[in-house]
Amino acid sequence: MNTVLKILILAPQPFYQERGTPIAVKLLAETLAEQGNNVHLLVFAEGETPNLPGVTIHRHVALPGLSDVKPGFSVKKLLCDFLLFIKAIRLVYGGGFQLIHAVEEAVFMAGCIKILFKIPYVYDMDSSMSVQLVDKFPFLRSVRTLMERLEGWAILGASGVLPVCRALEDIVRRRAPDILVVRLEDVSLLGEGENGAEDLRKELEIDGIMLMYVGNLEYYQGIDLLLESFQYALTADNDLNLVLIGGSERDIRGYREKSRKLGISNRVFFCGGRPVGQLGFYLSQADILVSPRVKGENTPMKIYSYLDSGKAVLATKLPTHTQVMDGEISCLVVAEQVAFAGAMVRLAKDGKLRKTLGEKARQRVREEYSPFAFKRKLKLFYDTLQQDLDGRL
């Protein structure tokens, strides 16, 4: 019989918000509680408080001005991380926790807690922080070796690591070949019976093939590549339309202006954000879903929902996509205008191919990337971990 663990999850995120990591953290906490553990979740002050049976939610102290914390490095996030660490120390002192489950950069807090209180930790690895920081701030290349050593220290000190994708799993196995590793991918966010009232074709007066992009409009997402490829594709097939859902008002203004300069603004529609709970409803209206990402190794969470939608997916042939997708369930092409445009046209003209790719993709997701698969993999990890911990608890 497995030992019931008192676990402190350190999740340095606004919680709860309907976006990437908070969604994954919610599923993580729910699953650990369902498996009978005594789960405590420490998050930022900002966010809604969901009903999570069996999970006690803690927050760091709220300070004026520390709100609207965005993903990625920022001064605000750094301050929130510090306040989270202070709160973690207070919770751990006399709290009887047997394990820390550290998400993202919280692993460094967990490493310090291990030194101070001898509490083991698990590293929930959503990214390679050294790679992520250098990609965003190229001037940090001079200290990349130091950052990689710190990341290696965090991995080696963990009792186990849960990388979110194959690229991260490879990093962990290179740095710590003997450590417990279970790859724990994100899952599809599509629910059953999603509906809504917004008919995009009718409201945007779209007649023809609809390509759709969902997500933020940051540079690494490849929106420039997408728009330039779309311009090229229109010269071969003027029956195409491109809908983009998501992005800040500032980014939308910039890319709307770019569309105007490219002469494609009458076929490109920026819709802004929509509720994650209606994601399936919007995806169902598209003919082709696109992910033109040009940087990064982590697989975007939206990819699992794309594949689950039953629609054909067109994506760049980069590790961020190829570690989950292959030619059997998607159309993968190099991140170059002519190739991406050619794939748009090819899929637009071949309805049978779109249907085949969509059906095979949906089947793959149901088998490997469903909430059930997530819970199965997490249970396998914790069952294996406890074989070691039970001898010490």
The mean pLDDT value for 81-101 works out to 95
Fold for the domain defined by 200-368: Rossmann fold (3.40.50)
The mean pLDDT value for 139-143 works out to 70
DSSP characters for 135-177?
Answer: HH-GGGGGGHHHHHHHHHHHHHH-SEEEESSHHHHHHHHHH-T
The mean pLDDT value for 116-135 works out to 84
CA 98 to chain CA mean position, Å: 28
Give yes or no for residue 139 having a pLDDT over 70.
Answer: no
Give the start-to-end residue ranges of the domains of the chain.
Answer: 6-187+370-389, 200-368
The mean pLDDT value for 174-179 works out to 93
How is residue 61 annotated by DSSP?
A: P
Q: How confident is the model over 200-249, as pLDDT tens digits?
A: 999 999 999 999 999 999 899 999 999 999 999 999 988 999 999 999 89
Percent of the chain exceeding pLDDT 90 equals 72
Three-class SS state of 292: coil
Q: Which residues pair with 333 in a beta bridge?
A: 316
Q: Are 151 and 172 in contact (CB under 8 A)?
A: no
Q: Which residues pair with 99 in a beta bridge?
A: 7
pLDDT for 94: 86
Fold for the domain defined by 6-187+370-389: Rossmann fold (3.40.50)
The mean pLDDT value for 166-190 works out to 92
The mean pLDDT value for 104-125 works out to 96
What backbone phi and psi angles, to 5 degrees, belong to 100? Answer: -105, 130
pLDDT for 55: 97
Three-class SS state of 316: strand
Give yes or no for residue 388 having a pLDDT over 90.
Answer: no
Q: Are 25 and 103 in contact (CB under 8 A)?
A: yes
Give yes or no for residue 75 having a pLDDT over 90.
Answer: no
Lowest mean pLDDT among 125-139, 236-250, 360-374: 125-139
Give yes or no for residue 322 having a pLDDT over 80.
Answer: yes
Res. 133 pLDDT band, cuts 50 70 90: low
Res. 1 pLDDT band, cuts 50 70 90: very low
Give yes or no for residue 96 having a pLDDT over 70.
Answer: yes
Res. 73 pLDDT band, cuts 50 70 90: confident
pLDDT for 130: 66
Q: How confident is the model over 338-359, as pLDDT tens digits?
A: 999 999 999 999 999 999 999 9
d(CA 2, CA 381): 13
Res. 284 pLDDT band, cuts 50 70 90: very high
Res. 194 pLDDT band, cuts 50 70 90: low
Lowest mean pLDDT among 9-18, 65-74, 99-108, 372-381: 65-74
**72, burial (CB in 10 Å: exposed 0-12, middle 13-18, buried 19+):** exposed
Q: How confident is the model over 47-58, as pLDDT tens digits?
A: 899 999 999 999
